Structure 1
Amino acid sequence: MSMQRVGTRQEWLAARLELLEAEKALTRQSDALARQRQALPWVKVEKPYRFETEQGGQGLAELFRGRSQLLVYHFMFGPDFRAGCPSCSAIADGFDGVRVHLANHDVSFFAVSRAPLPTLLAYRQRMGWSFPWASSLGSDFNFDHGVSITEAQQRAGTGGYNYQSGRHPMDLAELPPPVVETAACCGTDPAGFVRERPGLSAFARQGGEVFHTYSTYARGLDALWGMYPWLDRAPLGRNEQGMWWRRHDEYDA
């Protein structure tokens, strides 16, 4: 740990006030982005997606659980995975605390993955979570919402991700070692691992119809990582050299 410049309290206060102005500007920009996000046109969902849930087979409208809004976290957990993505798992550690508040503000929450429902529920039990999780296996839901691609798309480099068309960096024939290691810890091969991608999608229900209102991917999910807002305020910040995080039951005591 290298020592930062040491100054007087007066020097610190002057620098802190300068930073405060920048923080306020960022907050105002974030508020403006939220308004722009909410002003996006809604797109009617025409396809009859089906999901396997703990209550049986259900359509997208039923995931709203009687509320007018639905947030879906696209959790990377493919049909051949034996465990969920550790990055998605780190994000999911915050779901149970938040979803109670969402539910009392007219917003339902679901995680959705392509793994079979029994596999998802077994992993949820291992991790000590209780949020609702649905399997979209056999549905086009993941593919239509940009978080899964086919083997053919992967080979041709036409899958795209995060609104970018063409070959994605994760479609390379030789993937970086951290990706290979992460695939192994999920019990799948690297190519199969990167055919699943993380994301968040929002939906609205109005007049018996369902609308897709928003989706975000990649670093658009940064705000959902519960640890990062804390690390961004710690003395050394994120201080990352590679993928340091683990599933919460895999850290050394």
Structure 2
Amino acid sequence: MTSQPSAAPEVVDRARFDAALARQIQDEKEVTRHNDRVSAGRRRLPMLEVENYKFAGPDGPVRLTDLFGDTYLLVVQNVMFGPDWDAACPRCTWAVDNLPSNMGRLTDIGIAFAMISHAPIEKLNAWRTRQGWIHRWVSSGPTTYHRDFGWTDTDENGETFWRPGYSYYLLKDDTPYLTYATTGRGTEAIFPVSHIRDRTVYGRQQDWEDSPDGWPQQPTYG
């Protein structure tokens, strides 16, 4: 929504504003401290040895270990793109567009990035070109990767569905290990646009948010 809503916060004097802002900042500091505690737990997770899958790449087979390049850490975005689809999931596409414009900031600190989808490599290449993406993108089609880790699953009616998310790997002694994975709203941690919107007066303007009466809201996936 780009048109300006009529609803707006109460207008107050400087003293009331400063007091209200101070209370909000205090709450946010506690969220930061709690996030630090959660991150400390993440660093203490065990890890799982993972098969060195052979994916399909633009120029031929690509092993999971190849995705690390010269680094020992790897972040994989599991982009929803079914084998019979002609386009990637709009939400996943938006997530890729949220990535840093200078991905070298990651490789400079030893973190590689790649995307993996279930669709054939020809479809991935076509969508990648259309979107103008430079990120490495491989197909898990020849493997059981998507099924093994639940990125592709089957519901109670026998219908196949896909999950978006991120997998974090460590390469140690030439063996890949899974150290962390997240899906659902856990993916929001790397979405700067969402966090920027959260701090505007109207938030994300989505119907799940607890906002004052009259605040603009629309369906989350509308």
Same fold (TM over 0.5): yes
Residue type of the partner of 1:63? L
Q: Does 1:234 align with 2:221?
A: no
How big is the shift at 1:201?
0.5
Query: Match for residue 28 of structure 1?
Result: 33
Q: Does 1:52 align with 2:59?
A: no
Alignment of 1:189-204 (within 5 A): 195-204=161-170
Q: Give the Cα–Cα distance (whole angstroms) in 2 for the partners of residues 55 and 103 of structure 1.
A: 22
SS at 1:95 equivalent: coil
Partner of 1:172: none
Please give the secondary structure, in 1, of the residue aligned with 2:21: helix
TM-score (norm 2): 0.87
Query: What are the equivalent positions in structure 2 for 1:1-253 lying under 5 Å apart?
Result: 1=5, 2-45=7-50, 47-97=51-101, 99-149=103-153, 153-155=154-156, 195-240=161-206, 241-243=218-220
Tell me which stretches of 4 or more aligned residues in structure 1 moved more than 3 Å.
none
Q: What's the TM-score once normalised by structure 1's chain length?
A: 0.77
Which structure carries more helix by proportion?
1
Moved more, 54-63 or 112-121: 54-63
Between structures 1 and 2, the one with greater strand share = 2
Contact 1:90 1:225 in 2 (8 A): no
User: CA RMSD for the aligned pairs?
Assistant: 1.7
Deviation at 1:224, TM superposition (A): 2.4
Cα 1:129/1:108, change in 2 over 3 Å: same
Native 8 Å contact 2:56 2:142 kept in 1: no
- The number of aligned residues is 206
Q: Deviations over 1:205-236 (max 9, x none)?
A: 11121111011010111122232111101110
CA drift of 1:48 comes to 3.6
Question: Kindly tell me: are residues 25 and 196 of structure 1, through their superposed partners in 2, closer, same or farther at Cα, counting changes over 3 Å?
Answer: same
- Preserved contact between residue 95 and residue 131 of structure 1 (Cα < 8 Å): no
Q: Is the 8 A contact 1:70 1:108 kept in 2?
A: yes
Give the aligned residue type for 1:119.
K
Q: Are 2:76 and 2:167, in contact at CA under 8 Å, matched by a contact in 1? A: yes
Query: Which residue identity lines up with residue 196 of structure 1 in the other structure?
Result: W
- Structure 1, unaligned runs of 5 or more: 158-190, 246-253
Task: Using the TM superposition, give the Cα deviation of residue 87 of structure 1 relative to its aligned residue in structure 2, in angstroms.
Answer: 0.5
Identity among equivalent positions (%) equals 31
How far the C-alpha of 1:140 sits from its partner, in A, is 1.0
